[in-house]
Structure 1
Amino acid sequence: MAENVQQLLRERLEDDGTAVVSGDRSWTWREHLAEASAEAAAVLAGVDRERPVHVGTLLGNSPSMLRAMAAAGLGGYVLCGINTTRRGEGLAADVRRAECQLLLTDAEHLPLLEGVDLGGVRVVDVDSPAWAEELAAAGDLVPLREVEAMDTFMMIFTSGTSGDPKAVQVAHLMVLFSGLNLVDRFTITPDDVCYLSMPLFHSNAVVAGWAVAVASGATMVPTRFSASRFLDDVRRHGVTYMNYVGKPLAYVLATPEREDDADNTLRVAFGNEASDRDIAEFSRRFGCEVMDGFGSTELAIIILREPGTPPGSIGKGMDGVAIYDAETVTECPPARFDEHGALLNADEAVGELVNTTGGGYFQGYYNDPDANADRMRHGMYWSGDLAYKDAEGWIYLAGRTADWMRVDGENLAAGPIERILQRLPQLNRVAVYAVKDEHVGDQVMAAVVLNEGEELTPAQLEAFLAEQPDLSPKAWPRYVRINADLPATATNKVLKRELMAQGVTADGGELWTREERGRSYS
């Protein structure tokens, strides 16, 4: 049995099942991995083996990116997925931090490097005739090394929702373990078709998408996510499995519903960060199973939904997952609720999600000792995510540590307020965050996107909020901005720090203000 990605890929070298479908072209696993082997041989022929063999990719979801991933696995070197939404000095900083010797890109992304100083990094246009000649002349692959389970397969940068991206070292074992686990959970076979529309430079696409296809021999359909094209793609390619991260389910659900939406081949959607409402509605509308869990790029904390998971909860944590007070370094007491479900003891129950056993599969951020020291404290891994846990062990997210608000002497977390607002049927997406107020410390602000064709009036919002028995009066948003869209990362996560930096403004949308200590918006 394979013990790493390299061995897993070798099991597919003579597999004549379909591996990749893109446009009108398709590759068998034999053809796909032959091309990957040639690329690995060409890469290794041109690197300095006395230095870390790190190869960057500035590529979209394409056969070229899939080939680069398989090449790194077979060749035994480290692939560094560079976020294609990064620009200028930020992009250069990521390449330098990862200590890339080569940067593989294509005609679409090559213009992003104009005027960018990458030092001595060699840039390779994988669409160029020159690279095709190098591949043809590369000869047989002699791997850099025989891979060990805990060797780094990829460096994957965090999304950057709460600061500059950090390069997470993702081990072969983690990719292998995730792929095999999901194949077993959802009974994925070579007859399945995996829809890879989340960015392949991000951990979700690697461990919940690509790894599933490699572990099962299923077909991969790489593409750029499009809500309007989603169902057509599923039907065209016979997609049976998809992974997601962030808010793509909400984007799809915002498109007009048709009577025949459930007439499709999709069996399973697996991912994280979807709301309870979106999970239920996506499952109903498209006739598939939706399984949502909690995970981060670091893969240090794993929380899984189980049968009976209460509304709003993300599930129960695996061994070592706990909620700690960062100041006292003690475990937070269980959350207590009133008869309406409102959290009564936020001050003591809300804390930071930690792994008390250490880093788990987290092997550290590459070339970033300060970030590693911040994550690993007191022998535990500190996630930066706020949460609380009830007496039965069910965990509820409360946001990031930056989402903690102090409103008129009361501590509030963004997560519970967002979950309440998501009950409003007109809303498609919601982000709750703090804006500074010289009198009360923070004010609650909500940025919302309406479902297509929906309208919302101040009176409707006021009536809805008044009907929510678990919403504290201080948690009523003081400001509400309505926009056609919200700033987001490449992985569909709302950039709250950008919203916070904009302050009390709608940035071209509509802004409502609640009267001070009142309940009316205007």
Structure 2
Amino acid sequence: MSEHVPTVTELLVARAADERPGLKFEQQEWSWSEHVQCCADRAALLQALHRGDRPFHVGVLLDNVPEFSFLLGAAALSGSVLVGLNTGRRGESLGRDVRLADCELVVTESKHSALLAGVDLDSARVLVIDDAEWAGLLAEHRGSPLDPVAAEPDDLLALLFTSGTGGEPKAVRCTHEKIAFPGRMLANRFGLAPSDGVYLSMPMFHSNALFAGWAVGLAAGAALGLRRRFSASGFLADVRRFGSTYANYVGKPLSYILATPERDDDADNPLRIVYGNEGAENDLDRFAERFGCQVVDGFGSTEGGVVVQRTPDTPTGALGRPGPGVAVLDPATEQRCPAAEFDRDGRVTNPDQAVGELVNTAGAGSFAGYYKAPEENAQRMRGGMYWSGDLAYLDRDGFCYFVGRSGDWLRVDGENLGTAPVERILLRHPGIAQAAVYAVPDAEVGDQVMAAIVLADAPLTAAELGDFLAAQPDLAPKQLPRFVRIAADLPRTATHKVLKRPLAAERWNCTDPVWWRPGQDPSFELLTPERAAELTASE
């Protein structure tokens, strides 16, 4: 008999009589029972506001405040659809997201309400949670009975937008199962119970926060500790104050926390498990040792179509082993790519054959499609298989290595290169805190490799960088950056993913210092304005 797949509604109803701590925010606290009642009140309000026949789409433009959690539960109880709106979007871009997701209501706070001024919302009503109108509407429904609308695992519960690093964000359909299943799975995997606490500082309009944070706490009955916005300096104090034993992350937060001053009592905290994805490899062990916890870094995306599992024997640089049905296929032939071959220095000698796209050959996995995007859905589900858009290769032992997104391909001297391996090499240097690699045009044909780096506290010279890169045995000559931009910071999305498009568009025409390599050797020098102008003219 197959295991029962829960819905978010069922997980909420199971907490309705639970008087143990359920939600903590700043100096406030709610039991799970009180949390579910707040969700029921708002579910009744949403049902009263709804006038159409189709599910009520409610845009939420909020930081990680209690109202976000209450509204997510309200959507589950009322049969509505919560639309996570990115607080980093502006003007027409934000309006486009509201219209694409068919929002009939947008709930925001005064802090963000100005973002909606003058924006075409296509008749969507706007309510502000810290004004009198919202308070009055809630008062009418306070104490509403818990009367959930029946839900099935494949019913739509939320629309979450992709980060937009490769173009306009797409609205990913998130069903009850897509949210509830990873929550229960991770709670069971890490042995979380009501006595635990889940620290939630990643933005709740993103999948990582919902799948690997909010849903985990709900499934385990563990108290959710909400942070309005991520703060590296506030992380440890929050963990201690909330009693959090589990935290989730995506991207660079571990690096930011590690950059805070060390203290002798850093490991004196309740944290046991930190789970996330896209953390810098050299940060994982450092974080675990400094804060006395286990760090588990996985691989995932908002779409959720492929699974790669990290195991204790995963080699350095690898993501882990592909899950059932996941393979690396040649996009042109749709055949499995051969295993990567390595030379004695660890460089892949057959990248054109070994690098392909990560594909779920068994079907869609947890990918439930993009909202109102039939062409993109068809592209993802070619031949009945889910094509992730992520480039990778496998070694002979079946371990998977990430190369980059399909849009991150560089064509250098007739050879395809991925950006991720070069970024991993750059980050080996203790003086480099962040790195992004991208393509800039070659004056003759194809691309040249450019990197933007953010320095750590220690200084770094152009000569030292050249010596370091020359000493890396697995850096192939064609992977050697031609240009290196020394940036104060890298442009990022609200979920800490690097935006490479503006970097690539600026090329070397920026106010940051740029080192360049005139010849074939890894010998860098400062790019002068005169030489930069010549290079731009030659494109």
**TM class by smaller structure:** over 0.9
Corresponding residue number in structure 2 for 1:37:
40
Corresponding residue number in structure 1 for 2:222:
218
Looking at structure 2, the residues matched to 231 and 509 of structure 1 have their Cα atoms a distance apart, in angstroms, of: 33
- After superposition, residues 275-314 of structure 1 pair within 5 angstroms as 275-314=280-319
- The reply to whether residue 208 of structure 1 matches residue 220 of structure 2 is no
Looking at structure 1, the residues matched to 403 and 383 of structure 2 have their Cα atoms a distance apart, in angstroms, of: 23
Partner secondary structure for residue 76 of structure 2: helix
- After superposition, residues 361-510 of structure 1 pair within 5 angstroms as 361-451=366-456, 453-505=457-509, 507-510=510-513
Contact 1:168 1:298 in 2 (8 A): yes
CA drift of 1:57 comes to 0.5
Looking at structure 2, the residues matched to 92 and 519 of structure 1 have their Cα atoms a distance apart, in angstroms, of: 47
Partner secondary structure for residue 55 of structure 2: coil
Looking at structure 2, the residues matched to 198 and 267 of structure 1 have their Cα atoms a distance apart, in angstroms, of: 18
- The reply to whether residue 236 of structure 1 matches residue 241 of structure 2 is yes
Looking at structure 1, the residues matched to 147 and 101 of structure 2 have their Cα atoms a distance apart, in angstroms, of: 21
Contact 1:41 1:142 in 2 (8 A): no
TM-score normalized with structure 2 length:
0.94
Contact 1:57 1:80 in 2 (8 A): yes
Corresponding residue number in structure 1 for 2:123:
120
CA drift of 1:338 comes to 1.0
Contact 1:6 1:76 in 2 (8 A): no
Partner secondary structure for residue 463 of structure 2: helix
**Cα deviation code 1:317-346 (max 9, x no counterpart):** 111111111112211111111112111100
Partner secondary structure for residue 74 of structure 1: helix
Corresponding residue number in structure 2 for 1:168:
172
Contact 1:435 1:504 in 2 (8 A): no
Looking at structure 2, the residues matched to 344 and 429 of structure 1 have their Cα atoms a distance apart, in angstroms, of: 27
**Cα deviation code 1:137-181 (max 9, x no counterpart):** 137357573000111121111111101111111111121210111
Corresponding residue number in structure 2 for 1:260:
265
Q: Tell me the amino acid that sits aligned with residue 140 of structure 1.
A: S
**Cα deviation code 1:448-493 (max 9, x no counterpart):** 1122x21111121111111111111121111111112100011000
Looking at structure 1, the residues matched to 243 and 317 of structure 2 have their Cα atoms a distance apart, in angstroms, of: 32
Q: Tell me the amino acid that sits aligned with residue 74 of structure 1.
A: L
Corresponding residue number in structure 1 for 2:250:
245
Partner secondary structure for residue 60 of structure 1: coil
Corresponding residue number in structure 1 for 2:99:
96
Partner secondary structure for residue 109 of structure 1: helix
- The reply to whether residue 71 of structure 1 matches residue 60 of structure 2 is no
- After superposition, residues 276-355 of structure 1 pair within 5 angstroms as 276-355=281-360
Structure 2 gaps, min length 5: 526-539
Q: Tell me the amino acid that sits aligned with residue 107 of structure 2.
A: L
- The reply to whether residue 148 of structure 1 matches residue 152 of structure 2 is yes
Partner secondary structure for residue 330 of structure 1: coil
Partner secondary structure for residue 425 of structure 1: coil
**Cα deviation code 1:274-314 (max 9, x no counterpart):** 12201111111111100011111011111110120000000
Looking at structure 2, the residues matched to 37 and 513 of structure 1 have their Cα atoms a distance apart, in angstroms, of: 60
Partner secondary structure for residue 194 of structure 2: coil
- After superposition, residues 6-45 of structure 1 pair within 5 angstroms as 6-45=9-48
Partner secondary structure for residue 448 of structure 1: strand
Q: Tell me the amino acid that sits aligned with residue 247 of structure 2.
A: M
Contact 1:53 1:101 in 2 (8 A): yes
**Cα deviation code 1:182-238 (max 9, x no counterpart):** 111111111112111101011000010000110011111111101122122222222
- The reply to whether residue 57 of structure 1 matches residue 60 of structure 2 is yes
Corresponding residue number in structure 1 for 2:535:
none
Contact 2:482 2:516 in 1 (8 A): yes
Looking at structure 1, the residues matched to 476 and 57 of structure 2 have their Cα atoms a distance apart, in angstroms, of: 51
- The reply to whether residue 48 of structure 1 matches residue 51 of structure 2 is yes
CA drift of 1:85 comes to 0.7
Looking at structure 2, the residues matched to 294 and 350 of structure 1 have their Cα atoms a distance apart, in angstroms, of: 17
CA drift of 1:440 comes to 4.5
Q: Tell me the amino acid that sits aligned with residue 200 of structure 2.
A: L
Partner secondary structure for residue 331 of structure 1: coil
Looking at structure 2, the residues matched to 89 and 19 of structure 1 have their Cα atoms a distance apart, in angstroms, of: 37
Corresponding residue number in structure 2 for 1:80:
83
Contact 1:262 1:287 in 2 (8 A): yes
Looking at structure 1, the residues matched to 146 and 54 of structure 2 have their Cα atoms a distance apart, in angstroms, of: 18
Q: Tell me the amino acid that sits aligned with residue 409 of structure 1.
A: G
**Cα deviation code 1:362-384 (max 9, x no counterpart):** 11101111211221112211111
Q: Tell me the amino acid that sits aligned with residue 56 of structure 1.
A: G
CA drift of 1:3 comes to 2.1
